[in-house]
Structure 1
Amino acid sequence: MAVSTPVLGLVVLIYMMIIFYLGWLGYKKTKQTDDYMVAGRKIHPYILAISYGATFISTSAIIGFGGAAGALGMGLLWLAFMNILVGIFIAFVVFGKRTRRLGLKLNAVTFPELLGKRFQSRFIQGFSGALIGIFMPLYAGIVLIGGARFVEATLNIDYDVAVLILTVIVAAYVITGGLIAVMYTDALQGSLMFIGMAFLMVFTYIKLGGISAAHTALTSMSGMVPDSLAGGGHLGWTSMPAFGSPIWWTLVSTLVLGVGIGVLAQPQLAVRFMTVKNDRALNRAVLVGGPFILMMTGVAFTVGALSNVYFFDNLGQISVAVAGGNTDLIMPEYINSAMPDIFVVLFMLALLAAAMSTLSSQFHTMGTAIGHDFYREFLKKGDIGQTINITKIAIALTILASVVLAYILPISIIARATAIFFGLCAAAFLPMYVGALFWKRMTREGAIASLLVGTFASLFWLGFVHASEAVPLGISQALFGVDTVLTGTWTVVDPILVATPLAFIAGIVVSLATKPAPMDHIEKCFEN
């Protein structure tokens, strides 16, 4: 890079000073448990929308899914559509309002507590908290990877050092300031991300000769699809894969549906609905969140695919080849080689913002899930004791687990690991979350059945059937002598399409077969 080190250092220093100031503001406003857990239930709609969007769209979307688009093409734009329709409109208007009201009525401060109190079950709250604490570090780990890969490529520093720098910065304000600090910093970081992605889109089209020329050139490159991808159904970067092919199943079931539906049951996102004071704030937030998500995902997926044109014109290779087969490096390589130096600095801040906003929310969610839901409510049966201190210790431990995973996870993992976590949340939480909000007849036993069936069906499919995970894990091979216990198309069908319907069925059947909850509790939960 041609940008001088002092200039770069000054820009980063100013950015960090602002971040820590916002974290300090959050710390000063955090007076009680509600402040730490749900930001006092009085967050401004703009801050809610940008915080939600910045948490949802992390480096996994920009680096991981942008890189996946570089390999698989613009079919990923269907995920951008799902993100806006399901992740913003349905999430805020349909789920958000009922979640806010129910959380307020039941005095719930976390997503597991909302479910646990609705179904009057400490087991649901404790099991959900443990599930989040155990599996969310996978998601946090790949967000760390995305941010660190870009810092590594931009500043030419060691990847391991980049991981540690990101971790220390985020940990400092999350542990002290709680959710208020997280949402204040998210709002700044989300605004930076929006500006960065707008510039990226404009510079890309200028570099490639305009919108029409860029897309025409990408379409004409369909003959350059590598044999390994063509054999899996890849028909070019501006076409959907062949219907029913392995790549089609990966794109549609794992990436588009896995993330597009799984967003509804993300604990770190659902808790944000409980941070505003009325339904009108949620309606206003949609008007900000929709365009934000469109800019984040639409630009990342489009630019990722178009990077093939740039690399072929300048290096005679497609993006995957330039990145050495690691799709997680496609976006960093493209931005660092194609963009003006000063923009690279700006985009590095935007990527840092994306990583830090999501990580802060993940660390906060993991800490509260372990400290509040599992420790206080499940183990200590509601004894308030040292909840905040235990939560802070839990945040520190989950941060450590996330860092370890960032060091040991394989290449090209970001998009896949994101889909794994989103799919697991959909199978485990979505059926009883829907029941909690919309079906009075769902019982405690039905909710527990859906939670357990969804969790273990998803984990079984990941470990024994879905080839992308089952083969590298080797559990099926060790126990049964085969890579996967099922063969053919089943091995490319994502767990979300199997485990989530099974969980819904279990929840419905068991609820109808068991005694309804007391009417006074149901009336309290569903009164307007």
Structure 2
Amino acid sequence: MISTPVLGVIVLIYLMIIFYLGMLGYKKTKEIDDYMVAGRHINPYILALSYGATFISTSAIIGFGGAAGALGMGLLWLAVMNIIVGILIAFVFFGSRTRRMGLRLKAVTFPELLGRRFQSRFIQGFSGALIGVFMPLYAGIVLIGGARFVEATLGINYDVAVLLLTVIVAAYVITGGLIAVMYTDALQGAFMFVGMLVLLTLTYIKLGGITEAHQTLTAMTPLVPDSLAAGGHLGWTAMPALGSPIWWTLVSTLILGVGIGVLAQPQLAVRFMTVENDRALNRAVLVGGPFILMMTGVAFIVGSLSNAFFYKTEGLISVAVVGGNTDLIIPQYINDAMPETFVILFMLTLLAAAMSTLSSQYHTMGTSIGHDFYRQFVKKGEVGKTVNITRLGIATTILISVILAYILPISIIARATAIFFGLCAAAFLPMYAGALFWPRMTKEGATASLLVGTFASLFWLGFVHAKEAVPLGICKFIFGTDTLLTGTWTVVDPILVATPLAAIVAVVVSYMTEPTPTEHIKRCYGK
């Protein structure tokens, strides 16, 4: 725990820069395109850093780093997925088509892109409502990650830390729109890159070098707790036993849930519409790839190696040191293992990660409620004070996310992230991919896919997937049993069931209904 005048000065300077960038964004926000899609003239390098900083939050660093502390380096497969799917496929294939179609249809949000492609106010309104209702869960766990580190580092009460983070982020998002968000994201992304690079270097120095550190961790395999070993845990440098409950959790929920779900994240997809041309997207890949590798790879490696440090210094593995709350592993490790000067730097790194993701989430939730649901669905496109309604939507979802940050249970960050990413994949991905790549997809097919993906995912979460179904208790209340299915099904993530089902429904219904008029297809695809 640290408390120095130097820290106060550094944080003050950092916040002054953030608010300056927010004010810059406010001054440049004159039209609705400025507020929603940053005027479509964002520099590719700012795009790459903003995308990466939005994608990688305290959820990745604190939540998934903590999960690696418990489950081991098998999570590095998620880093591979993040680069291949979240950067290469997202930018090169989805990004270019999203940018072009968004420009042709004059769409300024992700739900509006889908709604205009399929000529459906229902799709736009339902998508906006879905984001407004469920994204606060994601925002809430990002708040938890940032607040837990501030709590552990400065000794500030957790509840106070949540409020401080919220007020700071809300101040520049509500006023400055997406321009302010992307400017501040870029700065915060640079802080994050430096902080994680230093963290990795100091960790290996602390443990005697790369080879020594990994050999020590491998030799600790006999120390895996009986409860984890029974679930298939084979050590922190090995994948869990194939087909075991922990293997299914690691692969289907954490690796595939987030690795595939990233393609359908509204707050990320909208960034493709902020640049002028495809060349800017290709340039962004060169920055985004190394950035994501550094952010996720370091978090997963350090989280796993924290076991070696804690066993060396306290004779305990990481989960035991933090009393079972995996969300505290990274904060505890940083404060115990790192020099005080670095703790200050890393606190800024975590603040940057939390603030960059939160700002994008709040902006996306606000535009989904104000623009997509209220203006386009409720008011049927009536011109009005959309920006003001959007700002009200931001304020409302901020309040909900703060409440969730207070009431959600321990060790929730990684799991809640995977829940939201998986829900987005099931609800949006088949429809989004069809919108971009398959002109034959119809409005009816897209609508069916959206509804089936959404409710199949929620059903699986509430009635089959044990991690959520058991604590929710809905299935127990209605049917008298914890889950409707038993055995392996209870550890299979909803993304592996709901997303293929939504895709099949999209294809079948599209072929059963009349094709979209040719003139609209030409408008969408430029053919």
TM-score above 0.5: yes
1:5 shift after superposition: 2.2
- Please name the residue that 2:135 is paired with: 136
Task: Please give the per-residue CA displacement for 1:477-507, whole angstroms capped at 9, x wherever unaligned.
Answer: 0000000000000000000000000000000
Tell me the distance in 2 between the aligned counterparts of 1:373 and 1:182: 20
- Please name the residue that 2:204 is paired with: 205
- Please name the residue that 1:81 is paired with: 80
- Please name the residue that 2:276 is paired with: 277
2:220 is paired with a residue of what secondary structure? Answer: helix
> Which residues of 2 match residues 88-107 of structure 1 at below 5 A?
88-107=87-106
1:386 shift after superposition: 1.6
Tell me the distance in 1 between the aligned counterparts of 2:524 and 2:117: 7
Tell me the distance in 1 between the aligned counterparts of 2:295 and 2:4: 28
Tell me the distance in 2 between the aligned counterparts of 1:460 and 1:375: 27
1:523 shift after superposition: 1.1
- Please name the residue that 1:16 is paired with: 15
Tell me the distance in 2 between the aligned counterparts of 1:473 and 1:384: 41
Letter in 2 for 1:462: L
- Please name the residue that 1:451 is paired with: 450
Tell me the distance in 1 between the aligned counterparts of 2:335 and 2:382: 52
Does the Cα contact within 8 Å between 2:95 and 2:281 map onto a contact in 1? Answer: yes
Letter in 2 for 1:201: L
Letter in 2 for 1:135: F
Does the Cα contact within 8 Å between 2:53 and 2:356 map onto a contact in 1? Answer: yes
- Please name the residue that 2:158 is paired with: 159
1:509 is paired with a residue of what secondary structure? Answer: helix
Tell me the distance in 2 between the aligned counterparts of 1:185 and 1:448: 36
Tell me the distance in 1 between the aligned counterparts of 2:62 and 2:243: 27
1:289 shift after superposition: 0.0
1:425 aligns with 2:454: no
1:171 shift after superposition: 0.2
Does the Cα contact within 8 Å between 2:152 and 2:332 map onto a contact in 1? Answer: yes
- Please name the residue that 1:288 is paired with: 287
Task: Please give the per-residue CA displacement for 1:413-438, whole angstroms capped at 9, x wherever unaligned.
Answer: 00000000000000000000011000
Letter in 2 for 1:61: A
| Alignment root-mean-square deviation, CA | 0.5
- Please name the residue that 2:245 is paired with: 246
- Please name the residue that 2:259 is paired with: 260
Task: Please give the per-residue CA displacement for 1:159-200, whole angstroms capped at 9, x wherever unaligned.
Answer: 000000000000000000000000000000000000000000
Tell me the distance in 2 between the aligned counterparts of 1:386 and 1:39: 18
1:476 aligns with 2:465: no
- Please name the residue that 2:340 is paired with: 341
- Please name the residue that 1:396 is paired with: 395
- Please name the residue that 1:498 is paired with: 497
Letter in 2 for 1:433: Y
1:4 shift after superposition: 4.9
Tell me the distance in 1 between the aligned counterparts of 2:314 and 2:395: 44
Tell me the distance in 2 between the aligned counterparts of 1:72 and 1:459: 26
- Please name the residue that 2:145 is paired with: 146
1:200 is paired with a residue of what secondary structure? Answer: helix
Tell me the distance in 2 between the aligned counterparts of 1:51 and 1:4: 31
- Please name the residue that 1:331 is paired with: 330
Letter in 2 for 1:301: F
- Please name the residue that 2:216 is paired with: 217
Tell me the distance in 1 between the aligned counterparts of 2:223 and 2:279: 51
1:381 shift after superposition: 0.4
Letter in 1 for 2:275: V
2:380 is paired with a residue of what secondary structure? Answer: coil
Tell me the distance in 1 between the aligned counterparts of 2:152 and 2:77: 29
Tell me the distance in 2 between the aligned counterparts of 1:286 and 1:448: 32
Tell me the distance in 1 between the aligned counterparts of 2:121 and 2:156: 47
Tell me the distance in 2 between the aligned counterparts of 1:375 and 1:417: 27
Task: Please give the per-residue CA displacement for 1:239-287, whole angstroms capped at 9, x wherever unaligned.
Answer: 0000000000000000000000000000000000000000000000000
Task: Please give the per-residue CA displacement for 1:81-122, whole angstroms capped at 9, x wherever unaligned.
Answer: 000000000000000000000000000000000000000000
1:226 aligns with 2:238: no
Letter in 1 for 2:38: A
- Runs of 5+ unmatched residues, structure 1: none
- Please name the residue that 1:69 is paired with: 68
- Please name the residue that 1:442 is paired with: 441
Letter in 2 for 1:18: I
Count matched residues.
527
Letter in 1 for 2:436: L
Does the Cα contact within 8 Å between 2:3 and 2:154 map onto a contact in 1? Answer: no
Tell me the distance in 2 between the aligned counterparts of 1:384 and 1:151: 43
Letter in 2 for 1:94: F
Tell me the distance in 2 between the aligned counterparts of 1:408 and 1:165: 17
Tell me the distance in 1 between the aligned counterparts of 2:54 and 2:269: 11
Tell me the distance in 1 between the aligned counterparts of 2:322 and 2:184: 32
Q: Percent identity?
A: 81
> Which residues of 2 match residues 404-415 of structure 1 at below 5 A?
404-415=403-414
Tell me the distance in 1 between the aligned counterparts of 2:3 and 2:174: 34
- Runs of 5+ unmatched residues, structure 2: none
Tell me the distance in 1 between the aligned counterparts of 2:312 and 2:423: 41
Tell me the distance in 2 between the aligned counterparts of 1:385 and 1:194: 41
Tell me the distance in 2 between the aligned counterparts of 1:297 and 1:168: 27
> Which residues of 2 match residues 344-359 of structure 1 at below 5 A?
344-359=343-358
Runs of 4+ aligned structure 1 residues displaced above 6 Å come to none
1:228 shift after superposition: 0.6
Tell me the distance in 1 between the aligned counterparts of 2:22 and 2:451: 37
Tell me the distance in 2 between the aligned counterparts of 1:316 and 1:457: 45
1:515 is paired with a residue of what secondary structure? Answer: coil
1:298 is paired with a residue of what secondary structure? Answer: helix
- Please name the residue that 1:462 is paired with: 461
Letter in 2 for 1:146: G
- Please name the residue that 2:55 is paired with: 56
1:6 shift after superposition: 1.1
1:194 aligns with 2:193: yes
Tell me the distance in 2 between the aligned counterparts of 1:91 and 1:31: 29
